[in-house]
């Protein structure tokens, strides 16, 4: 049954819409999962106003009680895990096992932050003067605008929304329209967990309307922090806009994540890692493998094994046990088709390219290729550092392979695209692993594991074209959603002057 999804401001559904669009199942395009009613820019500003009005009372709620609300969210997510995972698979075509993993990620995030409700530690600090004590406190930033992509419609929003709420902030969330049905189920769980009306608002809108709405809200002083996950292009625009209002957003953007495979690597392990991070989720993770950078002495062997593994991998119907299913929606498929042009003739292309159809079939395909947005997995050998394909994210099932002679060259190649999210090295030599971690400009480094699949309590984020250095998850995200306040408390009974009354030897 198709549902209708509307924005929610202060607990009320917003009936006025500028457009109603169907959200379809990318594995079966004729199947409408729901209809999303998109709002105009003023609704975003209104939602920010509702968040502003609700914030003082929420901030005054003791943090352990806010933690209890997060515990309720975790419990309800657990109880609804199968239903939510099924919706994720239906609406964005993520294979069911991965969809379950994605719901697990919000459960883990809730688990972590429940405890933080009883910590949110500040510090006591010695003063340079007698009879005086210094303290630090974490204060909520206020209202937070969260704008997220739909490739991780449950896990990624949770990285912002769960800690933002725990820290005493209120939220306006703009999810992707193509994953609106999942977002609505996500919102309902929060609403049934004891999050008061106005504390968590949701606005469905297209890109330009969101931008205008955000600008109006920032202008009116209704947004104190922006969290954005999406493309580097849009991230730059959000960064510029926030900068004009003296704000530093959290930006979690694209990646062209390298995997270095050294001459001493366990090649079977490396192939497994490359297969999962290159083609799992159809290459639609910000952490997906971009280029495998392989030592020339093992290159041919790796390429041969990798090619065979990809040819044997099951793809197709995401309700089945497949490595990957369709692309997220028509817009992503069109973008991916454009990037297929980067596969220049001088490359060695392993496997068919383009859409899987009856004329361009795929061995062992599960389901009906004509029904959905299914694309062949492609390995492109001999990519060079000045190729578009080497330099830019494809957000689809394409992995480039390049060779190197020594580790410094491999590190330089890994840094060349200028992203800096995730990275990986397969090696049995610990020295190489440490040298790689030291040289690669990436927020995340895996040793003998894939570029994707970060755990939910480590800092997540990137440098360069991948973001502005902000980090999600774990205790590190608290610095995004709280501001430090320092206090000095003088009980000397006289005016003590810092620097002036302090004799230094
Ligand atoms: C994303 O694609 O924006 O580390 C996030 C991973 C996942 C999150 C990906 N836990 O691959």
CA of 445 to the centre of ligand 1 (A): 14
CA of 455 to the centre of ligand 1 (A): 9
4 assigned to some structural domain = no
Non-local (6+) Cβ contacts of 484 within 8 A are 136, 137, 138, 139
Do residues 178 and 90 share a domain? Answer: yes
Number of domains in the chain: 2
- The predicted structure's pLDDT at residue 468: 96
Q: What is the b/e burial string over 414-436, where b = at least 16 CB atoms within 10 angstroms of the residue's CB? A: bbbbebbbbbbbbbeeeebbebb
Q: What is the b/e burial string over 79-90, where b = at least 16 CB atoms within 10 angstroms of the residue's CB? A: ebbeebbbbbbb
CA of 228 to the centre of ligand 1 (A): 14
pLDDT at 263 over 80: yes
Res. 344 pLDDT band, cuts 50 70 90: confident
Ligand 1 atom showing the smallest separation from residue 288 Cα: 11
CATH classification at residue 292: 3.40.309.10
CA of 496 to the centre of ligand 1 (A): 52
Residue range 7-40, pLDDT digits in tens: 999 999 999 999 999 999 999 999 999 999 999 9
The answer to whether the CB of 116 falls within 8 A of the CB of 46 is no
452 assigned to some structural domain = no
Q: Residue of the nearest CA to atom 7 in ligand 1?
A: 453
How would you classify the pairing of strands 28-38 and 289-295? unpaired
Report whether residue 287 contacts ligand 1, using a CB cutoff of 6 Å: yes
Q: Residue of the nearest CA to atom 3 in ligand 1?
A: 286
At CB < 8 A and 24+ separation, what contacts does 130-133 make? Answer: 130/492, 130/496, 131/490, 131/491, 131/492, 131/493, 131/496, 132/488, 132/489, 132/490, 132/491, 132/492, 132/496, 133/488, 133/489, 133/491
> Cα–Cα distances in Å, from 498 out to 95, 131, 133, 362, 502?
61, 13, 13, 74, 6
Report whether residue 286 contacts ligand 1, using a CB cutoff of 6 Å: yes
Q: What is the mean pLDDT of the chain?
A: 96
Do residues 302 and 216 share a domain? Answer: no
Report whether residue 170 contacts ligand 1, using a CB cutoff of 6 Å: no
Report whether residue 151 contacts ligand 1, using a CB cutoff of 6 Å: yes
CA of 281 to the centre of ligand 1 (A): 10
Do residues 62 and 114 share a domain? Answer: yes
Do residues 167 and 262 share a domain? Answer: no
Question: Helices 96-116 and 81-92, interaxial angle, to 10°?
Answer: 130
226 assigned to some structural domain = yes
- The predicted structure's pLDDT at residue 188: 98
Report whether residue 285 contacts ligand 1, using a CB cutoff of 6 Å: yes
The answer to whether the CB of 64 falls within 8 A of the CB of 72 is no
188 assigned to some structural domain = yes
Measured between alpha carbons, how far is 34 from 179 in angstroms, rounded to an integer? Answer: 9
Report whether residue 454 contacts ligand 1, using a CB cutoff of 6 Å: yes
Residue range 365-378, pLDDT digits in tens: 999 999 999 999 99
- Rounded to whole angstroms, the maximal C-alpha distance in the chain is 88
Range of 398's domain? Answer: 257-447
Do residues 342 and 358 share a domain? Answer: yes
Non-local (6+) Cβ contacts of 10 within 8 A are 50, 53, 54, 197, 198, 201
- The predicted structure's pLDDT at residue 500: 87
Q: Residue of the nearest CA to atom 6 in ligand 1?
A: 453
166 assigned to some structural domain = yes
Q: Residue of the nearest CA to atom 9 in ligand 1?
A: 285
Write down the ipTM of this complex: 0.96
CA of 136 to the centre of ligand 1 (A): 33
Non-local (6+) Cβ contacts of 473 within 8 A are 109, 159, 454, 456, 457, 458, 459, 460
Beta bridge mates, 36:
5, 21
Report whether residue 229 contacts ligand 1, using a CB cutoff of 6 Å: yes
> What is the model's pTM?
0.97
67 assigned to some structural domain = yes
- The predicted structure's pLDDT at residue 358: 87
Report whether residue 284 contacts ligand 1, using a CB cutoff of 6 Å: no
Ligand 1 atom showing the smallest separation from residue 456 Cα: 10
pLDDT at 47 over 70: yes
Residue range 437-483, pLDDT digits in tens: 999 999 999 999 999 999 989 999 999 999 999 999 999 999 999 99
Secondary structure element (H or E) that encloses residue 60, with its range:
helix 41-60
């Amino acid at each position: 049954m198709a549902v209708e999804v509307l924005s929610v401001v202060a607990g009320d559904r917003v009936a006025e819409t500028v457009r109603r669009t169907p959200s379809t199942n990318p594995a079966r395009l004729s199947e409408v999962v729901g209809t999303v009613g998109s709002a105009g820019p003023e609704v975003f500003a209104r939602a920010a106003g509702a968040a502003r009005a609700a914030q003082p009372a929420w901030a005054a709620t003791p943090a352990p009680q806010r933690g209890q609300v997060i515990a309720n969210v975790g419990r309800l997510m657990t109880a609804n895990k199968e239903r939510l995972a099924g919706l994720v698979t239906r609406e964005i075509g993520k294979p069911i096992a991965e969809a379950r993993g994605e719901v697990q990620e919000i459960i883990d995030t809730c688990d972590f932050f429940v405890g933080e409700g009883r910590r949110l530690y500040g510090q006591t600090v010695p003063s340079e003067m007698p009879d005086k004590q210094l303290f630090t406190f974490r204060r909520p930033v206020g209202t937070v605008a969260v704008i997220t992509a739909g490739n991780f419609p449950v896990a990624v929003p949770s990285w912002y929304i769960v800690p933002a709420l725990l820290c005493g902030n209120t939220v306006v969330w703009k999810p992707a329209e193509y994953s609106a049905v999942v977002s609505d189920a996500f919102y309902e769980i929060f609403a049934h967990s004891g999050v008061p009306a106005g504390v968590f608002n949701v606005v469905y809108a297209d890109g330009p309307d969101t931008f205008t709405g955000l600008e109006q809200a920032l202008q009116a002083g209704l947004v104190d922090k922006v969290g954005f996950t999406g493309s580097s292009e849009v991230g730059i625009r959000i960064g510029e806009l926030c900068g004009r209002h003296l704000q530093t957003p959290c930006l979690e953007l694209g990646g062209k994540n390298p995997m270095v495979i050294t001459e001493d690597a366990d090649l079977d392990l490396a192939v497994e890692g490359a297969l999962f991070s290159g083609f799992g989720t159809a290459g639609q993770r910000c952490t997906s493998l971009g280029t495998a950078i392989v030592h020339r002495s093992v290159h041919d062997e790796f390429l041969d094994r990798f090619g065979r593994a990809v040819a044997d991998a099951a793809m197709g119907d995401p309700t089945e046990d497949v490595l990957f299913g369709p692309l997220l929606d028509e817009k992503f498929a069109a973008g991916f088709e454009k990037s297929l042009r980067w596969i220049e003739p001088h490359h060695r292309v392993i496997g068919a390219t383009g859409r899987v159809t009856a004329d361009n079939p795929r061995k062992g395909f599960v389901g009906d290729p004509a029904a959905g947005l299914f694309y062949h997995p492609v390995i492109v050998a001999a990519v060079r550092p000045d190729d578009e394909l080497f330099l830019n994210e494809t957000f689809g099932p394409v992995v480039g392979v390049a060779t190197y002679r020594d580790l410094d060259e491999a590190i330089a190649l890994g840094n060349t695209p200028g992203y800096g999210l995730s990275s990986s090295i397969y090696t049995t030599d610990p020295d190489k692993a440490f040298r790689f971690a030291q040289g690669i400009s990436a927020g995340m480094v895996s040793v003998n594991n894939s570029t994707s699949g970060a755990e939910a309590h480590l800092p997540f984020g990137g440098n360069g074209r991948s973001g502005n250095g902000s980090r999600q998850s774990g205790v590190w995200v608290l610095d995004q959603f709280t501001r430090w306040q320092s206090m000095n408390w003088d009980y000397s009974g006289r005016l003590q002057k810092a620097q002036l009354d302090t004799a230094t030897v």
